[in-house]
A and B are shown apart, each in its own frame.
Chain A
Amino acid sequence: MTAALAKAERPAPRNRARARFMRHRGAVVSALVLTIIVAAAIGAPLVEGWLGHGPNDPDLGKRFLSPTWAFPLGTDEAGRDVLLRLMYGGRVSLLVGLAAALASAVIGTAIGIVAGYYGGRLDAFLMRLTDAVISLPSLALLIVLAAVDLKKIGVPDSIAYSDAVSLYRIIFIISLVGWTGVARLVRGATLSMRTREFVRAAVALGAPARRIMLVHILPNVLGPVIVATTLSVGGIILAESVLSYLGLGIQPPIASWGNMLSNAQEMLTQAPQLVIYPGLAIMLTVIAFNFLGDGLQDALDPRAGE
């Protein structure tokens, strides 16, 4: 019975949400653009097959080439294919963006629901913690976190020295400070949910707290969480690029848009295109995520938008 009630509480029928989303032209175009970018990232090995060279194959005889059929966007300072590196770099940047956004959303939702549901001292403590994390100068803190020696906290050498460690590390540290927005949002929504009849009914019926939070509250706060998560992806991609730019993010030879930019900045006057391409890729992707989030907000949470 309670489940049926919960369903009835869902904000709006799906097709109305879709109609609202489709009205947001920026969001529709962005969804399209993102589809293309994701397809490019996924399809990178295919293109690699067609072109017949890899993203990390240096060729000193082919440095700084102009675009040709074999190198559609030319080559970089090591004679590597810029297009391929952008595509593979997109994989890394998107992966970081999505994974960290998802992780932040999970942490934030958990903290928000718990704080909102239990209230009282726990709530006060969790919200003060949230405030504290928000008030930290996040970039400076990220720099400290990125410089921590994994071996000093007992991570085995095999992991601390692996190629992918910079990837996991950056996802981890961004999630560590990125959850606050969602936590506040979810707490607010949970507070209002708690006063709803179907939740009070479930409590009166003696349903365990965990079940109430997972079955009754969580589905109803998912809309704003999705919006906030989508909106945060862009910010995270930017954060990754900034850390990589400062030399603390993704390490070469793995390409990410951030470290491609960082790599190219010394050649700013010599080969500006190497700076411009990854910058545009980041900007396009981030704009698209922001518009998408905006559109989703219109669709899922119409009151918040205006």
Chain B
Amino acid sequence: MRLGRIALAAALLAAAPVKAETRDTLTIGLSTFPPSLHPLTGAELVRSYILAMVARPLMAFDPDWKLVCLLCTAVPTFANGLAREIDLGGGKKGVALTIAIQPGATWGDGTPVTAKDVIFTNRVNRHPLSGVVSGEFDRRVVKIEAKDDKTFVLHIDRITFDYNNLAGYRVLPAHLEEKAFAAPQDYAKRSTYETNPAERGLYFGPYRVAEIVAGAHVVLVPNETWFGKKPFFKRIVLRAFENTAALEANLLAGGVDFIPGEGGLTLDQVIALEARHPKRFRYLYKTTTSYSHLDVNLEHPALKDRRVRQALLLAADREAIARQIYAGKVSVAHSSVNPLQWMAAADIRRYEFDPAAAKRLLDEAGWSEMKGGVRHNAEGERLAFTLASVAGIKANELVMTVLAAQWRQVGVDARIRGQPARVFFGDTLQRRKFDGLAFFAWIVSPESVPRTIVHSSMIPAAANGWQGQNFTGYRNPEMDTLIDGIERELDREKRRALWHRYQEIYAQDLPALPMFFGTVGFVMPLWLEGVRPTGHSATSSIWVEEWKAK
């Protein structure tokens, strides 16, 4: 009898009305929660995603891949006179950029966003103890001066083709943060972003943070001082479910309206969801500059032979993987340059699936003795290596399983090794400890130069303090010259020729085996309009005021 009463109570609870459908609130589901919303102490995608709605970066590449001003009024160029060459003495040339801040830009507490804020941000970024993750750009700034309240001039110590690229540059509110920065070594702990993240004065975007419950959710409400178009939603709630099963279940149960491609579900999960619920949601797939590849350790005795690398690529049926695992929604990569990027060349070497050709190449390279299904060379060595990657990313594990099986077919023994992210990136890659191949991906801005990736000065080693991301140990003087040339060449067409040669060499030498150009999947309610994925490293949430309900 008592049991009966409990059951009744449970039923009553269960029957409690599900939240009435209100179209002025948008609930976004994310798979991680940012440790903080401070713009400079971390660069997690989810942090950028949320920050974009509450404070704009100075500039960004828009969904059409054009560099646009968000907090500033005009992108400085040599053509419009806002950028000019400066002489730094000693034959060194630099550039001075004149940038004006949007006249209406005002922090949520009514204080205008001014040049003072930019100068303060520069100070924080340059300070060795401030705890910011990346001060590289600000250290290139030799001088910064305020022309008036809303205008400042940056003097930069070099001229590169992307001299005016300040995409992603975020500004701090000097009036709130200056006090915390008085003791720079404690700044990260005393910053208002940490002590009172719901303070209005920290934000100047279309929204501001109204409530934040660490690990659970962030609530955004329209910011009264916003200078741009008035946003549609009266409230945006970002909820984090660090378990995709729970995230998906919440989406299906109505606890979440929208899962963005940035930091939500992985592509294979979105595809699976669409297969099960094709009509319930709108699915949006967007190809991105995310480039997945297998870095080759070029010191590996077998893999240092270019023919072996080419054979591996020929023996991998990447088309089949793209078709079967990703429902044809990713494209096979042929070099690190994405077809979406303007400098992509169409005529570079491709490696279509051809196991016979792979076998011929391996024979040619001396791996002709088959023993127990694995190739050996004349010295009796096995053609074997490991295939390392971050453990726990299911789609990656699946791809590696399939690759290993395909290589098995041509007599190559690849063993899969999953590692925690911290080991893989911190140790295996950075210390170049992978014994064969390493599988990972990165996402780039529209034209970023892979200096840290292929330049021979960027091979991490004890001698250079493990600097750089040339994990493969690739050395090619021609490549070095090309990279230097691309960076300095301001003329786009001349640069195109250099980029073309870069792709040729990359496809021929294969310092890394190109796999796919990624795609992100957005799961949207049928009534949501205006979300435009960018396809590169800028998040779609930068244009949140365009979002509305039908």
Contact = CB atoms under 8 A, between A and B. Distances in A.
Interface stretch (B2-10, B320-328, B493-501): B320-328
Given A58-B405, A147-B420, A163-B415, A270 B276 contact: yes
Interface string A41-71: 0000000000000001110110100000000
Contact of B275 (A266, A268, A270): A270
Interface string B383-427: 000100001101001100110110000000001111010010001
Interface stretch (B86-94, B109-117, B183-191, B243-251): B243-251
Contacts of A60: 320-321, 323-325, 402
A269 B276 contact: yes
B252 interface: yes
A265 B417 contact: no
Interface in B241-288: 244-245, 248-249, 252, 269, 272-273, 275-276
B420 A252 contact: no
A306 interface: no
B435 interface: yes
A266 B391 contact: no
Contacts of B244: 265-266
Contact of B435 (A61, A161, A266): A161
Contacts of A265: 244-245
B398 A77 contact: yes
A199 B201 CA distance: 80
B382 to A, nearest CB: 14
Interface in A147-175: 147, 149, 161, 163
B397 A269 contact: no
Contacts of A147: 420
Most chain-B CB neighbours within 10 Å: which of A247, A265, A266?
Answer: A266
Nearest to A165: B417
A61 B324 contact: yes
A247 B420 contact: yes
A266 B405 contact: no
B294 to A, nearest CB: 17
A269 B401 contact: no
Interface in B210-259: 244-245, 248-249, 252
Contacts of A57: 405
Interface residues of A, number: 23
Nearest to B391: A247
Nearest to A61: B324
B69 to A, nearest CB: 40
B252 A149 contact: no
Contacts, number: 64
A60 B252 CA distance: 28
B291 to A, nearest CB: 22
A78 interface: yes
B394 A263 contact: yes
Nearest to B405: A58
Interface string A274-289: 0000000000000000
A270 B272 contact: yes
A58 B402 contact: yes
A269 B244 CA distance: 11
A232 B327 CA distance: 45
Nearest to A54: B405
A116 to B, nearest CB: 42
Contacts of B269: 266
Contact of A253 (B245, B324, B392, B416): B416
A252 B418 contact: yes
Given A61-B324, A78-B398, A253-B401, A269 B249 contact: yes
Nearest to B265: A266
Contacts of A28: none
A267 interface: yes
A273 interface: no
B398 A268 contact: no
B245 A266 contact: yes
Contacts of B276: 269-270
Contacts of B324: 60-61, 63
Nearest to B397: A252
Chain B CB within 10 Å, residue with most, of A58, A265, A270 = A58
17 contacts: A56-B401, A56-B405, A60-B321, A78-B402, A149-B423, A247-B391, A247-B392, A247-B420, A252-B418, A265-B244, A265-B245, A266-B245, A268-B245, A268-B249, A269-B252, A269-B276, A270-B276
Sorted from nearest, which 4 A-B pairs have the closest CB atoms?
A60-B324, A270-B272, A247-B392, A268-B245
Interface of B: 244-245, 248-249, 252, 269, 272-273, 275-276, 320-321, 323-325, 386, 391-392, 394, 397-398, 401-402, 404-405, 415-418, 420, 423, 427, 435
